[in-house]
Chain A
Amino acid sequence: MAELHNTLKAHRTDKGFTQASLAEAVGVSRKSINTIENRVFTPSTLLALQIARALECSVHDIFYVKDD
């Protein structure tokens, strides 16, 4: 079954963001960033694109599908 994985934590720390500062930049709660990183919550396309824009990379660099 295909599952959505992400490298958000690595990209976020590379760009010098904390969870709180990325949440502020994107306009969501810190918990949203935390739950996305931990794969508890799957973001909408809009939020995924906003995160990618804040981190100055493609959404495909952060989110990818993995077949288990």
Chain B
Amino acid sequence: MNADTLSRIRIAVFGFAGLVCLSYSAMALAGNTPRPFSPWLPGASGFAAGLVMWLSAIKAGPRAAGMAHDELFWAEWGQAIRFSYWFSISLYPIFGILMGLDWIAPSTSIAAMGTAAGAAPMLVFCFINLRS
């Protein structure tokens, strides 16, 4: 297993975990329910993503893992984190308005905001990485 394979695995697991979180958020909003499906799934998908990456890095060895996590990766991850920070901050006034208008329940807001904030860095990283 080389650095390119590790990078592809990273995109796949980030994309998968990000989509699970985004789906949870979108379905919570659409159904106005804090529990559109098992609330363990977003967290479990994130944990599984980390586990798969960790095991893959061990299998590939320290040199390949270091090559896959080079300065380009950290630059792109940094961009994703910066965007996600402001995205997550912006959710507060948006959901505040929605709750103020009684369009969604506070419990639904917490579920949707939390999973959307969790999905953002992973999906934005995938977008930046696949675009470059």
- Given A35-B132, A41-B75, A41-B132, also A29-B68 (CB < 8 A): yes
- Given A35-B72, A41-B75, A43-B71, also A29-B63 (CB < 8 A): no
Q: Please name the residue on chain A nearest to B75 by beta carbon.
A: A41
* Count of A interface residues, CB-CB < 8 Å: 15
Most chain B CB atoms below 10 A, which of A23, A29, A30: A29
By secondary structure, the B interface counts as helix
Query: For chain B residues 36-80, which have a beta carbon within 8 Å of chain A?
Result: 63, 66-68, 70-73, 75
Q: Please name the residue on chain B nearest to A36 by beta carbon.
A: B72
Measured CB to CB, the closest approach of chain A to B106, in angstroms, equals 43
Which residues of the other chain, B, contact A31 by a CB distance below 8 angstroms?
Answer: 4, 7, 72, 132
- Given A27-B63, A31-B132, A35-B132, also A44-B4 (CB < 8 A): no
Which residues of the other chain, B, contact A35 by a CB distance below 8 angstroms?
Answer: 72, 132
Which residues of the other chain, B, contact A29 by a CB distance below 8 angstroms?
Answer: 3-4, 7, 67-68, 70, 72-73
Q: Which of A20, A27, A40 contacts B70 (CB 8 A)?
A: A27
Which residues of the other chain, B, contact A30 by a CB distance below 8 angstroms?
Answer: 3-4
Which residues of the other chain, B, contact A41 by a CB distance below 8 angstroms?
Answer: 72, 75, 132
Query: For chain A residues 13-60, which have a beta carbon within 8 Å of chain B?
Result: 20, 23-24, 27-32, 35, 40-41, 43-44, 47
13 contacts between A and B (CB under 8 A): A20-B4, A27-B67, A28-B67, A29-B4, A29-B72, A29-B73, A30-B3, A30-B4, A32-B71, A32-B72, A41-B72, A41-B132, A47-B71
Q: Known pairs A23-B67, A31-B4. 13 more at Cβ < 8 A?
A: A20-B4, A27-B66, A27-B67, A27-B70, A28-B70, A28-B71, A29-B3, A29-B73, A30-B3, A32-B70, A32-B71, A41-B72, A44-B71
* Chain B residues near A (Cβ < 8 Å): 3-4, 7, 63, 66-68, 70-73, 75, 132
